[in-house]
Structure 1
Amino acid sequence: QCTDKKVNEITPLLFARASTPQDMVKLSVEEIREIIRPCGLSPMKSKGIHGLSRMILEEHGGEVPADMAALEAMPGVGHKTASVVMVQAFGVPAFPVDTHIHRLAWRWTLSTGK
């Protein structure tokens, strides 16, 4: 995984090469992997970035969908990432929860774990 500090260093490098889905699919998976390599898990993440960029173009007319199910259907996008997109891009009220918070809430009986 990757720290916020490292993500904030790598993101401008990636977006300097490709800041739209149209530009991202022009890069090869290998090119994306080399840019994001310092963040770890780059083989899997680069395939996800390329695949979701293609999916945005082919299935959503080049626009990020404002729908949880559509977001979660994209490569590399889970419930937390989809929730963050819904909150940040579309102003939908949500509370993104990672695995660790989810586990603690269950242990402390603050949630049913579902």
Structure 2
Amino acid sequence: MAAARIKGIQDLPEERRPAVVPAPDEAVPAPERAPTSPVLTFHDVVARYGPDAGTALNGVSLSIARRGHTAVVGPSGAGKTTMFSLMLRFLHPTGGTVRLDGAGVRPPGRPSVGP
């Protein structure tokens, strides 16, 4: 019985998803980059989780290579999660710059509805 259900699922036609294309005003050309240029850089980054909160990161600068492996290690409270939150734009720096592939990581624009 279970094998028949699995076979039935495997025989379902594959769903096609439409390609996601950014709106023309959101499209950003890929920057020219050298194979040895860093993929991610933090320069004097300061981050807080609120206007009245203390600094979670203060003056952090680093470059992460395009190839290879990078480990971010440290004790609890050292700022590892904050760094990843900045990389993923869950949090925005209150000072300094975060660059991904040479382009500044900035907050997304205000969403709009309609044309």
Q: TM-score, normalised by structure 1?
A: 0.24
Bigger RCO of structures 1 and 2 (CA < 8 A, at least 6 apart): 2
Q: Which has the larger radius of gyration?
A: 2
Higher helix fraction: Structure 1 or Structure 2? 1
